[in-house]
Amino acid sequence: MRGLTLVTISAFALIGCADNPPVEGADAAPPPTRSATATLHLADGTEAGRATVRETPGGLHVMLDVHGLRPGVHGAHLHTIGRCDPPDFASAGGHWNPTGMKHGSMNPQGPHEGDLPNLTVAADGRGALSADIAGARFDSLIDADGAAMVVHADPDDLKTDPAGNSGGRIACGVLTAG
């Protein structure tokens, strides 16, 4: 009797599934995550690390790994133009700022979307940074003229417009979508 009950329940379960039409898009794969990477270089052409920007459901996730830099704290920012002409990397333009804000997370009128936390480089010249930019759009960053990751000589004070008194640009990498 028990075997007949299980067969009956199973049959009703299958019938119930057949009566429910599939939900539109339920089997569709999530949209692919887009990303861009950059190899950073010093003014003399020496490789200095790698940056990755990855699209997330809530914005963008930025990862930066550097080597061969002077130990200490350095400003790190996403810049508006995908060019890194030495020696000063001025070709990268200003900070990425599609919302027209002032510089710095401690500025009441900020921050730029390209403002990142400071990068700490250890005594061995290595450092890493990971940050999320809520609400940022991949297509706004990787636009017709591209974008760049720039590391500055000094710490970012996180409030002074336009660049947080973070000094000269010491490493730069052009972000390339891939």
Across the chain, which has 178 residues, the per-10-residue mean pLDDT values are 41 44 53 88 98 95 97 96 97 89 68 86 98 93 94 89 84 94
pTM score of the predicted model: 0.80
- Looking at the domain assignment, is residue 166 inside a domain? yes
Q: What is the CATH number of the domain that holds 43?
A: 2.60.40.200
Q: What is the DSSP string of 11-69?
A: HHHHHHHHHSPPPTTTTSPPPPPPEEEEEEE-TTS-EEEEEEEEEETTEEEEEEEE-SP
- Looking at the domain assignment, is residue 11 inside a domain? no
Residue 20, both tokens: 């429910």
- Looking at the domain assignment, is residue 19 inside a domain? no
- Looking at the domain assignment, is residue 172 inside a domain? yes
- Looking at the domain assignment, is residue 123 inside a domain? yes
Q: Using CA atoms, how far apart are residues 74 and 157, in angstroms rounded to an integer?
A: 10
Among 96, 120, 110, smallest CA distance to 158 is for 110
By the 10 Å C-beta count (0-12 exposed, 13-18 middle, 19+ buried), 21 is classed as exposed
Q: For residue 24, what pLDDT is reported? A: 54
Range of the domain at 45: 35-177
- Looking at the domain assignment, is residue 14 inside a domain? no
DSSP structure class, residue 99 = T
Work out how many domains the chain is built from and give that number. Answer: 1
